[in-house]
Amino acid sequence: SIFCGLSNTPFSSGIHVAKKIDKLGMRSSDTAQIFFEDVRVPSKNLIGEEGNGFTYQMLQFQEERLWAAATVLTLLDTVIQETIDYTRQRKVFDQSVLHNQAVHFRLAELATEVELLRSLLYRTVALYMEGKDVTKLASMAKLKAGRLAREVCDSCLQFWGGMGFTSEVLVSRAYRDTRLLSIGGGADEIMLSIICKYMGTLPSK
């Protein structure tokens, strides 16, 4: 069941929050272990029907995975643009880093990949708004978003050199924070299994 139980309420007795967990990224979002022991919640605080919590969770996965893909697009655009700005003004051997073909070609490739993800997302959202089952496409979008985020942030961080390894620039935070995309809301391997199931290539048990 899904319950709404907050601290400092009459029914919070039995809820114990363990110490905060230190994470690689997403540091502004607190994470901790929460233990429930003999917690009693009034029926008026029940959300939905009792015993259907797992079903509710499963039903929202399409939206969660589309949201995951959508939230990373602007960040990736920004990381690429800030990398362009930095490499344009950063001089090495009397020319900007951006002047090197390996750099501006790579940034063009990354920008193209981001646009492809955006197109997949828009198509999937349009079908979802029509009431279609987009489980396969949503899984593809989330899989691509997580992997592309790693690719973009890793490639761009490299062009920042030592500065990219500091906490003073956005690219280093993006490098840490977006790693969660391939884990939260269903790991890459789960997305691949779902896609294979819809393709009819997942081995039967």
Lookup: tokens for 155: 């490639």
pLDDT of residue 12: 59
Query: C-alpha 173: how far from its chain's center?
Result: 13
pLDDT of residue 8: 55
Tell me which residues are annotated as active site: 64
pLDDT of residue 3: 40
pLDDT of residue 109: 98
Q: Is residue 83 a contact partner of residue 159, using CB atoms and an 8 Å limit?
A: yes
Residue 33 has φ and ψ, to the nearest 5°, of -80, 135
**pLDDT profile of the chain (205 residues), mean per 10:** 47 76 86 84 81 80 93 97 98 95 98 98 97 96 98 98 96 97 95 96 89
pLDDT of residue 108: 98
pLDDT of residue 5: 46
> What is the model's pTM?
0.85
The CATH number of domain 55-199 is 2.30.30.110: no
Q: How many beta carbons lie within 10 A of that of residue 176, not counting itself?
A: 16
Q: What residue spans define the domains of the chain?
A: 1-45, 55-199
Q: What residues form DSSP beta bridges with 187?
A: none
Q: Where are the beta strands (DSSP E) in 78-173?
A: 91-92, 95-96
pLDDT of residue 10: 56
